[in-house]
């Protein structure tokens, strides 16, 4: 299988949003995505986030959406917001190729830390991250406030 990794463009935002919705369905939150295509396009134009897309035979098979942030303890940090491979492309090595490409991007950006979240019930993802020698923390709790 020939997997091609490329950076997303503004034209890809509809595909990115579709993948985010697919991920929300997988994560049992099908109605949680309220961001619009316009929101994605504006944020992309403002360089709030970046996306790497995996293509197989010209079809987008998955993506990683990430952005720069800062760790007051470690310095420059890359945050992986969304990592999704379409259901029809899973178990074919695409996730590993995407994850490796993200790690290369982190090194290129000279960050000291790559960070993300995984749901405690998502055993396939947890096993994937463990296989990639990731540290899975149990002592930190997520906090958030929604502004409407």
* Active-site option among 26, 70, 129, 146: 129
Chain Cα centroid distance, residue 147: 23
Q: How far apart are CA 117 and CA 136, in angstroms?
A: 9
Per DSSP, helices labelled H in the chain are: 13-26, 37-45, 94-108, 123-131
> Exposed, middle or buried by CB within 10 Å (0-12, 13-18, 19+), for 88?
exposed
Confirm whether 146 is a catalytic residue: no
Q: Are strands 59-71 and 50-56 parallel, antiparallel or unpaired?
A: antiparallel
- CA proximity to 94, closest of 84, 104, 108, 107: 84
Report yes or no: 54 and 7 within 8 Å, Cβ to Cβ: no
Q: Which residues are catalytic?
A: 129
């Amino acid at each position: 299988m020939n997997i091609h990794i490329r950076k997303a463009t503004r034209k890809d935002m509809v595909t990115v949003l579709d993948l985010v919705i697919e991920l929300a369905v997988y994560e049992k939150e099908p109605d949680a995505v309220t961001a619009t295509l316009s929101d994605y396009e504006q944020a992309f134009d403002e360089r709030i986030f970046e996306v790497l897309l995996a293509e197989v035979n010209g079809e987008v098979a998955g993506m990683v959406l990430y952005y720069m942030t800062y760790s007051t303890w470690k310095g420059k940090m890359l945050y992986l917001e969304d990592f999704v491979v379409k259901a029809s492309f899973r178990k074919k090595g695409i996730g590993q190729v995407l994850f490796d490409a993200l790690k290369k991007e982190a090194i290129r950006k000279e960050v000291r830390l790559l960070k993300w979240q995984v749901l405690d019930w998502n055993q396939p993802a947890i096993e994937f991250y463990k296989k990639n020698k990731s540290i899975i923390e149990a002592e930190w709790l997520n906090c958030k406030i929604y502004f409407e």
